[in-house]
């Protein structure tokens, strides 16, 4: 709730539902995910998110606002998680098909850490990470820098000698790093609202390919957040 660029964004409404609920609804389509756990900061400003978690009948854990790594560790430990899929709460267009494919590959290849993100040439806003509890336990012990604790996983990809990692590369239609689908600014919010306005229907999910087709047919919309710069680690 205390986002610096767009405070309260996780509860801003798109198609008459808060962003947080859209994310939950999309993740519920992932058959390979057993539980959705909201890792909520323990500060009073975020008390409202606990109320929403109860309203949506979601598991939740409350912990440090600044030491997000510790919050994740305790949340995973409380719910006895073997593997953790990390999704941030500003990605209302997270793609359950991609998550399912990631989980399959993660298990088949027995990696410690797997990620999808802009570095793989996907649109910004599909970002997801998977790591084992053993990996989470190790980085919670070994990571000491503030930015490593705040951003959860930098220690993993900055120390590849300790972990078996895999980074997913986009292919075909999904190779569109020019498209920004995350919600970090008012411009981002405006674009995503337009996408949902045209594609969202109750009980009928749409996917990244549908979003790309829509934006390619309405390229003027891409200018809405084309000048937004992504925050860097530590900012």
What CATH number did the domain enclosing 179 receive?
3.90.550.10
Q: Is 78 within the bounds of a domain?
A: yes
pLDDT on residue 117: 76
Averaged pLDDT for residues 111-117: 93
Identify the helix (H) or strand (E) that includes residue 156: helix 154-158
Q: Domain range spanning residue 111?
A: 9-223
pLDDT of residue 203: 81
Which pLDDT score, from 0 to 100, does residue 20 have?
96
**pLDDT one-digit tens code per residue, 152-211:** 999 999 999 999 999 999 999 999 999 999 999 999 999 999 999 999 998 889 999 999
CB 96 within 8 A of CB 30: yes
**How high is the pLDDT of residue 233?**
54
Give the pLDDT band of residue 229 (cuts 50, 70, 90). Answer: confident
Lookup: tokens for 70: 């510790």
Selection from 171, 160, 178 nearest residue 230 by Cα: 178
Q: How far apart are CA 168 and CA 10, in angstroms?
A: 26
pLDDT of 120: 84
| pLDDT for the residue 231 | 64
Q: pLDDT (tens digit, 9 = 90+) per residue, 25-39?
A: 999 999 999 999 999
Whole-number percent of the chain with pLDDT over 90: 93
For residue 115, what are the β-bridge partners? 129, 167
Does 173 reside within a domain?
yes
* E strands, 149-195, in order: 165-167
Whether 140 is in a domain gets the answer yes
Q: Establish if 211 belongs to a structural domain.
A: yes
| Confidence grade of residue 228 (pLDDT, cut at 50, 70, 90) | very high
Largest CA distance in the chain: 49
In whole angstroms, give the CA distance from residue 224 to residue 230: 15
Is residue 206 situated within a structural domain? yes
Question: Does the predicted TM-score (pTM) go above 0.75?
Answer: yes
Q: Name the nearest CA neighbour of 114 among 77, 163, 155, 73.
A: 163
72-101 as b/e, with b when 16 or more CB fall inside 10 Å?
Answer: bbbbbeeeebebbbbbbbbbbbbbbebbee
Mean pLDDT to the nearest integer, 58-68: 97
Rounded mean pLDDT, 209-235: 87
What domain count does the chain have?
1
Backbone angles phi and psi of 14, in degrees to 5 = -130, 130
Q: Is residue 4 part of a domain?
A: no
In a domain, 230, yes or no: no
> Would 229 be classed as within a structural domain?
no
Give tens-digit pLDDT for 66-96: 999 999 999 999 999 999 999 999 999 999 9
């Amino acid at each position: 709730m205390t986002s610096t660029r767009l405070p309260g964004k996780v509860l801003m409404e798109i198609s008459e539902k808060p962003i947080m609920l859209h994310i939950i609804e999309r993740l519920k389509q992932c058959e390979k995910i057993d539980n959705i756990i909201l890792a909520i900061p323990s500060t009073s400003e975020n008390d409202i998110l606990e109320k929403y978690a109860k309203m949506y009948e979601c598991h939740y854990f409350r912990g440090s606002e600044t030491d997000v790594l510790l919050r994740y560790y305790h949340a995973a430990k409380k719910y006895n998680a073997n593997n953790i899929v990390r999704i941030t709460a500003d990605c209302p267009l997270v793609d359950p098909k991609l998550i399912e494919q990631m989980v399959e590959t993660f298990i088949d290849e027995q990696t410690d850490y797997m990620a999808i993100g802009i570095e793989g040439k996907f649109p910004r806003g599909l970002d997801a990470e998977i790591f084992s509890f053993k990996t989470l336990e190790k980085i919670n012990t070994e990571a000491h820098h503030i930015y490593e604790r705040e951003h959860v996983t930098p220690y993993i990809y900055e120390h590849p000698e300790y972990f078996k990692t895999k980074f997913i590369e986009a292919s075909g239609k999904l190779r569109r790093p020019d498209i920004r689908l995350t919600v970090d600014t008012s411009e981002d919010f405006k674009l995503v609202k337009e996408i949902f306005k045209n594609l969202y229907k109750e009980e009928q999910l749409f996917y990244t390919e549908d979003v790309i087709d829509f934006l390619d047919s309405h390229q003027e919309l891409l200018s809405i957040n084309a000048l937004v710069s992504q925050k860097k680690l530590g900012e």
